[in-house]
Amino acid sequence: MTLAEKILARAGGKKIVAPGEIVTAKVDVAMSHENADVVLKAFREIGLKKVWASEKIVILFDHRIPAESERTAATHKRVREFVAEQGITHFYDMKLGICHQVLPEKGHSIPGQLLVGTDSHTTTHGAFGTFAAGIGGTEMAGVWATGEIWLRVPETIKIIVSGKFKKNVSAKDLILYIIGELGCDGADYKSVEFCGPTMDDMTIAGRMVLSNLSMEMGAKVAFCPVDKKTIEYVSSRNTNKSGTPTPLWRRIEIIKPDADASYEKVLEFDVSELEPQVACPHAVDNVKPVKEVKGLKIHQALLGSCTNGRLEDLASAAEILENKKVAESVRMLVIPASREIYLEAMKAGYLETFIKAGALILNPGCGPCLGGHQGLLAAGEVCISTTNRNFQARMGSPESFIYLASPATVAASAIKGEIAEAHE
């Protein structure tokens, strides 16, 4: 069986499952952010007093923090009250950062487990070998009530990656290239398994970029290999301050697809010659090499999000911005993905580099990524961004334009005031 099949078989209490089959699976982790407000409203309508398992629900705020409106403040308040009433153990309020970064940091993303989240980029947790899929709020109310969810066993596409990245080319360029090739629905309803020598060398942060953006080709789940690196990360995140493993720790183990697993498709990519890529407006699969659009004037440069707001992303941008200035005409926004990353970036001196270069540092969270607040675009404006969606009107005016690229490309473009390649 493939990874998706193995995990769904386990969660569905079956020996074996095949693509197309529908299983009723037991959920290990149920994650929500601000939209927990939608969930709790639906949950109340069911008429149950208690959620199925208060220790399996994780809630935090990241989309609109600190509250940008009175309405959001009221949302936050209602959710806090619900959390207290239900005794939900894992509630992080607005203090830690973006859900897809905070859950792994807090040890909730575990190989072989079933995680559902009321956020489409829940695929991110597949980087740890977790069957992690996005669902809607009403469906989550069902999970809170029963602890179960029906899922169709997906077909799996295997993607073998080989070769070594050139300088200033990274996982972001690779996944943009793949989405450009497969199209935005190239993996709709499917599971994706990334593997191959490049994956073995890739950092956890890089793997998270691939699993995160696989959503933009429609994937239901997107796995990276579970290896020593994964186990080290996950175990270290499930150890108490005193060094004792938490109860979850015993369940952490390497999980691999069977050697005879059957795949719908096997695709191969070699990254040795890959050049920096950019997704042009208004679709994530409208991908071109950066050199084809370079010279285009930009107004905003955004470094952050659940896609590319991790320490190595900030490091790669800081290296380029060191002793340089962001162009006068550009607003550069930097948003570390979590408080932990914020602190590390501060210690490493990256934040100082950004501030000296003229960038604004915002609090960990989603920021303008979904167009809620903190840096929206006016008609006619162009933003180069490390985020994962460039849909029309996503970040403000329907007449604004978002280009998606790597942290290196965003930093280089911020300096030039136009889309630029990092090595120039």
Strands (E), 167-260: 191-195, 221-223
Binding of residue 146 to other proteins (CB under 8 A): yes
Strand duo 57-59 + 131-134: pairing: unpaired
Only one of the segments 154-162, 255-263, 281-289, 365-373 lies at the binding site for ligand SF4 (rule: CB under 6 A); that segment is 365-373
Binding-site string for other proteins from residue 27 to residue 66, where x marks contact by CB under 8 A and - marks none: -------xx-xx--xx--xxxx--------------xx--
Only one of the segments 44-52, 87-95, 171-179, 366-374 lies at the binding site for ligand SF4 (rule: CB under 6 A); that segment is 366-374
* Count of alpha carbons within 13 angstroms of residue 308, beta-carbon side: 31
Binding of residue 134 to other proteins (CB under 8 A): yes
Q: State which of positions 25-64 bind ligand SF4 (CB under 6 A).
A: 62-63
- What Cα–Cα distance (Å) separates residue 130 from each residue in 28, 232, 251, 341? 10, 15, 12, 22
Distance in angstroms (rounded) separating the CA atoms of residues 6 and 153: 10
Residue 326's CB is within 10 A of a number of other CB atoms, namely 22
Only one of the segments 101-109, 167-175, 385-393, 416-424 lies at the binding site for other proteins (rule: CB under 8 A); that segment is 385-393
Q: Which of 6, 64, 121, 310 binds ligand SF4 (CB under 6 A)?
A: 121
Per-residue tokens: 111: 């190989």
Rounded CA Rg of the chain: 21
Instruction: For ligand SF4, give the closer residue by CB, 58 or 255.
Output: 58
Binding of residue 220 to other proteins (CB under 8 A): yes
Which of 317, 297, 315 shows the shortest CA–CA distance to 410? 317
Q: Is 203 helix (H, G, I), strand (E, B) or coil?
A: coil
Binding of residue 189 to other proteins (CB under 8 A): yes
Binding of residue 265 to other proteins (CB under 8 A): no
Binding-site string for ligand SF4 from residue 90 to residue 119, where x marks contact by CB under 6 A and - marks none: --------x-x------------------x
Residue 339's CB is within 10 A of a number of other CB atoms, namely 18
Binding of residue 118 to other proteins (CB under 8 A): yes
The continuous run of DSSP H or E covering 28 comes out as none
Binding-site string for other proteins from residue 388 to residue 417, where x marks contact by CB under 8 A and - marks none: -x-xxxx---x-------------------
Binding of residue 124 to other proteins (CB under 8 A): no
The size of the interface with ligand SF4 (CB under 6 A), counted in residues, is 13
Distance in angstroms (rounded) separating the CA atoms of residues 298 and 401: 9
Task: Decide: 382 and 401 in contact? Cβ < 8 Å.
Answer: yes
Per-residue tokens: 387: 């985020």
Strands (E), 96-220: 114-117, 131-134, 148-152, 156-162, 191-195
Look at residue 138 and give the partner it binds from ligand SF4, other proteins, none, a contact being a CB closer than 5 to 8 Å depending on partner kind. other proteins
Minimum distance from residue 121 beta carbon to ligand SF4 (Å): 5
Look at residue 198 and give the partner it binds from ligand SF4, other proteins, none, a contact being a CB closer than 5 to 8 Å depending on partner kind. none
The size of the interface with other proteins (CB under 8 A), counted in residues, is 49
- What Cα–Cα distance (Å) separates residue 155 from each residue in 107, 121, 265, 369, 388? 28, 19, 9, 31, 24
Distance in angstroms (rounded) separating the CA atoms of residues 24 and 11: 8
Minimum distance from residue 31 beta carbon to ligand SF4 (Å): 11
Binding of residue 370 to ligand SF4 (CB under 6 A): yes
Binding of residue 220 to ligand SF4 (CB under 6 A): no
* Residues ≥6 apart with Cβ < 8 Å to 375: 300, 302, 331, 333, 362, 367, 368, 395
Binding of residue 136 to other proteins (CB under 8 A): yes
Distance in angstroms (rounded) separating the CA atoms of residues 54 and 61: 17
Minimum distance from residue 6 beta carbon to ligand SF4 (Å): 27
Binding of residue 353 to ligand SF4 (CB under 6 A): no
Instruction: For ligand SF4, give the closer residue by CB, 198 or 387.
Output: 387
Residues in contact with ligand SF4 by CB under 6 A are 62-63, 98, 100, 119, 121, 305-306, 366, 369-370, 387-388
Residues in contact with other proteins by CB under 8 A are 22, 34-35, 37-38, 41-42, 45-48, 63-64, 68-69, 71-72, 75, 118-120, 122, 134-139, 141-142, 145-146, 150, 184-185, 188-189, 218, 220, 283, 370-372, 389, 391-394, 398
